[in-house]
A and B are shown apart, each in its own frame.
Chain A
Amino acid sequence: MSKTDHGVGGLTYDKSKKGWPNEVNIFAALILIILIFEALGQFLPYMNDQSFLFDTNGRFDTIFNEARLKIIILQVAIIGIISLGVTQVIISGGIDLSSGPLVGAAAMIVMSFAQTELVNGNPNPKAVFGDWAFDLPVIVPVIVGLCFGAFIGAINGSLIAFTRIPPFIATLGMFLICRGIAQWWTKGQPVSFPTESFAALGSGMMPVVWFALLAVLFHLVLRYTLYGKHTYAIGSNEDAARMSGINVKRHKVLVYMIASMLAAFAAIILSSKNLTAQTGMGQFYELFAIAMAVIGGVSLTGGRGSIIGTVLGAMVFGVIQSGFTYIKLDAFYQLMAMGAIIISAVVLDQWRQQRGSSRN
């Protein structure tokens, strides 16, 4: 006998038959994908019995292949920060295609406020501004970057909220504008040689730390705050949200601002990690960030998804990418396979929608 409980009005329902949260499925998929790569490693003739996950060479103290795990998490962390914002945009029923180019533009701008005066005793060969911009406290480039992100996000959000431009078009326009800004800033020259304190922001495993902190923060924000509830409500039924008195326009501007600030923060971390900023930085990031969210169960039709899902989606994304490299799949095949995976995730989402599910 399963345990039943009484709902309102005397109807009974079966608590034990409640569907498990979607995140469990994604976690299962993650495990499955790891196992597939592990198996491929054993069976593909050219792999020489290498292991995907485990340390077969006795290089590390643990049983896992730490180097690979680190690379996976590091690769995922920076795009993952972007995907936290993209998740909110998609849940609210929108889309943001401008985050990749925003990373490029923000990195250029941020780095030019983070430069150090002397490189190995010689003047900085990549100086963008005059003397006044050298060796500024680390807070300056960070604030500049976040303000730039907020500014771009405010434009995105205002266009979408106050005109009837679809999010797809508005952010596609911003995509090109940001790529333009990145090129224009230094006429295509890379910007390099940051201060030590700026370089510390993204050194070592710091990107992972930032990703983890921000993921926890926005998990709480989406689940437990008014902002989160209204984001879901707008994505679920915009008319209902408006009729219920939610200020939909203002909320949308806020969502796009937060998303772009997260992308700008990713740019700060990325340029700090690379110690340089180039105009092409962030290529495909907008698509990868969307892919992480979609793989993680965020519904492109709005109203559904979670930060936990997106973090798991990011893991899946990282494992697949790393797995492809591990089985020595060429880069162009990797892109094709990624495309196929994103499409499958969307198809799967639609299939899930039709079956419906309950909230955990």
Chain B
Amino acid sequence: MTELGNIILETRDLTKHYGGVHALEGADFTLRKGEHVAIMGDNGAGKSTFVRQITGVEQKTRGDIIFDGKPVNFTGPLDAREAGIEAVFQTLALADHLDVPDNLFLGREKTKWNWLGPFRRLDYKSMREDTLEALQKTGVKIPNIRNTIQNMSGGQRQCVAIARTATFHSKLTIMDEPTAALGVQETAQVENIIRTLKEQGEPLILISHNMRQVFDLMDRVVVFRRGRICANLDIRNEDITGEDVVAYITGAKTQPEYEDAA
């Protein structure tokens, strides 16, 4: 496994408490460059919480995050994004009353007349062109990109959110249940996007409940249970079946090295 190269992301003892709720407890996690890792676990296992700590959306209670060789302490999502982490959040993070280009470029709009500070002018034309290009590349179907997001189907909205991460070149992509609302074709498209990222050697963390998808696409599975990591499974090289993974998820099995955690 080490031939995949050095490490892009590492967390040590990453912990998040919401008041008395220990949503994430002592997570030690590593991701190598070019590696695609799935995070699996039951509802409420702490998967999204883990993502929110890495992406600077929330402030961790304890622990260290080392990204691209440097310890990082993101104070907000913009920090993480500028460092090169792109994420599709489970809640999508779209603005309903804005159209597709607006959403794609939300928070990093292309602008002109930058001397005007906060009142600088938006470069609508260039953003529209880039949007069309991005959607074409990802094979997303949207009738009119100038329609507001609110009237689009769940799948189309999801596609916009995914196109957003795929548009901007990043060092790490994180997708939190990206295909949960998608039809067969759209799911296939998203899986194609993931394959493309793999070919380009871009590392990815995928949160998914879909066993087939995980076994088709991912190199490794990390299982979360009640806020703790309870298994780290090399599904490419070891003889591991879906049933094994389910056993880890439900708590029927725990890997010896994580015994004390469970």
Contact = CB atoms under 8 A, between A and B. Distances in A.
B93 A358 contact: no
Contacts of A357: 148
A241 B76 CA distance: 12
B94 interface: yes
Given A9-B142, A233-B102, A254-B118, A241 B148 contact: no
B77 A232 contact: no
B95 A232 contact: yes
B72 interface: no
A225 interface: yes
Contact residues on A (Cβ < 8 Å of other chain), bracket: 35 or more
B106 A240 contact: yes
Interface string A228-259: 11101101110111111111000100100000
A10 B141 contact: yes
Contacts of B78: 245-247
A12 B95 CA distance: 24
B136 interface: yes
Contacts of A13: 143-144
A332 interface: no
Interface in A313-360: 356-359
Nearest to A234: B95
Interface in B147-163: 147-148, 150-151
Interface string A2-18: 00010111111100000
B139 interface: yes
Contacts of A227: 118-119
A28 interface: no
Contacts of B142: 7-9, 11
A71 B132 CA distance: 50
A8 B189 CA distance: 14
Interface residues of B, number: 44
Contacts of A232: 95, 97-98
A84 to B, nearest CB: 15
Given A8-B136, A236-B95, A303-B96, A226 B106 contact: no
B96 A236 contact: yes
A243 B119 contact: no
A9 B55 CA distance: 31
Nearest to B124: A224
Contact of B106 (A11, A221, A241, A358): A241
A240 B143 CA distance: 23
Interface string B178-198: 000000000000000000000
A311 B257 CA distance: 68
Nearest to A358: B147
B121 A244 contact: no
Contacts of B106: 233, 240-241, 244, 246
Given A233-B95, A237-B96, A358 B148 contact: yes
A216 B82 CA distance: 35
A304 interface: yes
Contacts of B77: 242-245
A297 to B, nearest CB: 12
A230 B108 CA distance: 11
A226 B135 contact: no
Given A233-B102, A245-B107, A226 B97 contact: no
B146 A359 contact: yes
What 10 A-B pairs come out closest when comparing CB atoms?
A: A9-B141, A245-B78, A244-B107, A245-B107, A303-B97, A7-B143, A236-B95, A13-B143, A244-B106, A240-B93
Interface of A: 5, 7-13, 221, 224-230, 232-233, 235-237, 239-247, 251, 254, 303-304, 356-359
10 contacts: A10-B141, A225-B116, A229-B122, A232-B97, A232-B98, A235-B97, A237-B93, A239-B91, A242-B77, A251-B118
Given A239-B93, A240-B106, A242-B57, 13 more contacts: A225-B122, A232-B97, A233-B106, A237-B95, A240-B91, A241-B95, A242-B76, A243-B77, A244-B107, A247-B76, A303-B97, A358-B148, A359-B147
